Structure 1
Amino acid sequence: MKLIKNTIYLLLIAGAILSGALMLSHNDEILSVKPIENLLAGVFFVDSITEAEIRTTYNLAKKEQDKLNILIVPGHDEAVFGAQFNGVKEADLNVELGEYLKNLLEKEEAFNVFLVRDSNGYNPIFLNYFNENRWSIIQFTNQYKNMMNTVVQLGLVEINNIVEHNRASEETIIKLYGINKWANENDVDIVINIHFNDYPGRKYNKPGEYSGFSIYIPESQYSNAKASLALAQPVFDQLRKYLPISDMPKEQTGITEDQELIAIGANNSLDPAVLFIEYGYIYESQFTNENIRKIALEEAAYQTYLGIKNFFEGEVNLSTKQYDTLSKTYFWNNDLNKGLKSSKDVFALQLALAQNEVYPPETLSKNDCPINGNFGRCTNEAVKEFQKKYNIDPPLGFVGPITRDKLNEIFAR
């Protein structure tokens, strides 16, 4: 693909020159003849990977005839740690979730999983690649920028930027394009970028007004766009079962196309299918509270894993039937009542109630009622609905011995 795109770039320039020579004057009208430009641009943006190719690789891998390569990219690093709130750094959350996801995916024999960065720092494969290939990465970056500028100037590609992003530092740009270059060269099939969200103007020490997750994918004109959208949909459908969709206006569709994010192939620089998942906002309590953070990140990783599996196999037929959360093996020993905060028991309870389709209550949304381990109005009302559903009388909205027994009967398997 690299050779094809390089060749096409040269042909695009030649095509532009030739098309200029083919400008014909006829009865004071100028007729522009651009068949060569259009043809070459069409080839430049031909699918670099398809949904069918990914599925074929997976099926071969299940027969031990191949491996499907998945690259996990926890965003940011120790030098540029991204969003932060009350001492919690996005880079650390990204790594922790990335490690959980890697452990889940590696259990599948069909997958060959690479993690760019873990809790010890950059994977030596990538650290060495950045250092040894710095100049070629810069050339790669400039080449794709020039190719994109050419097709834009020729009017063959439309600029379509929906969400404004922070500008990355020079070193970060080199690393991000370096990851894209490495992925192209090493036949990576799927790239998963892990991030947490924030927005300009929020006071650094105060929670913001938005909540929820979003998935960014390459804009529809890009070579990896179709396959990325096909992958994004089942992952989105799985995550939305338990996580609220971002209520920031430009992210409310849940899946957002983007041309500028380097991590998903800015300037058409990435061949594999790719997702850029913002799992929530950095200030949401389930991510900032140390008592809950681990199980919240584990659950987010598990739902992502299930979404990827669903892409290949449809709805995963779990041994626990419909119970597709980590609460499927949870056992409650304690009574639970309104006012509890940052409780693992309450977090598991909220997951179980969501599984049981009574959380959040009908009059409230997932953004109103995040799964965060806090027993407030949302959980109280949902427990009442659960009690009504199973004829636990009176439905008072707290978890006592009878309600706890029913929860353990259903979920503690």
Structure 2
Amino acid sequence: MFNQIIMARKEANSSAESEMAHQLQSIGETIGNLTLDLPTLPQPVSKTDFTDNEWINKPALKLFKLDDAETCSLGRELLSILSSGVPQQHVGIIFVLAFQLRQPGPRPNDRIFPNKDPLATTQDLQYNELSPRIYGAKGTKVTPRTYGNDDNKQACAYAYIAASMLRLFTRSAGNYLEYWNRILNDFKKFYTIDCPIYGFSPCLSVLESIRFNFSHSEIYKVTLYRYLYMANDQDKAIGLRNYLYDTAISHTGMHIVSIFVRLCLSLNISPAELLVVVYMGRFKRQIDELIIAIKLMKNTDEDHRRMMWKYGRIFDETFLLGLQSRTCPHFVYLIASMLKEENDESAANILWIRQLEEVSEDYKVEWREKGKKLLKMIHQVKEEV
């Protein structure tokens, strides 16, 4: 299908664009035919890899197993301060509670994480060694209400809520608060019962304080790294993990990666084919780095099987910098407009990404029209083969 796409591009171009057609032929030959065995590119300015072991020796907070009663005690302590103010040590409690996450089911006894952290170092800290100073709002503590006396189910709920708070590494406090009731209501989808904890809501300023701590303290980032390293070393409760935090914190700031993959799936063509179609000189850096991202997706060697690279931008802001949405809003808009045109129902709000506000209205019209022409060409070629 590569040759047909290239010929279609040639016919659509004017003679003044013959050099671009030559470049298109070259990249088509380089990428290869219908495979993800993509070329090794010259090193870009961005950091182009984040291996699973990248942060393996950094000190973090100690993660350890609690029994149900201990989990409930810490859970009540954490949730009660979400309406009043949060010390750094209580930010640490979030990770300890999230480490108690249970597998879905009516009697959640099976734990997702091991009893001990296999990456533990002698420099690791207990959460209560952090500062007890209160940040954020200083309102009145509100003790959450519970129903029933089953510590097992309540412990499960506290761990579930704590794991959902990991979204604050990449989502705003307002966004998390907006989903708060939905998160509690969806507990039943995974554990077959209503959430046994109710009657409270976090304070926005406290959530903002937690997010600030997540963003500006390396020990919390390293603890997240440890948590994800252990979670991704297995295939337990992938749906639950995706729902609570993983989807929210993957590919941070790189909307183009997921949008591009969705468009490939919608069109039923390979990433290599779509790269040939959308290739433009002005987007060379983005296409180069998309090729790198696609190669990482397919890499299952020992250094990448946990896919820690998905979270690379949380740990290193230079990781695949060229794919950051604010770096390439025009490229994101082109691909997003094609996805919306091709599959409007599932991509209804795809053009509302905040960074796309930087694209002028004139350019938006231009990219939508360009996207429609590219889609028409793809469908014509598919009909011919």
* Same topology, TM > 0.5: no
Range into which the TM-score falls when normalised by the shorter chain: under 0.3
Larger helix proportion of the pair: 2
Relative contact order (alpha carbons < 8 A, sep ≥ 6): 1 or 2 greater? 2
Larger strand proportion of the pair: 1
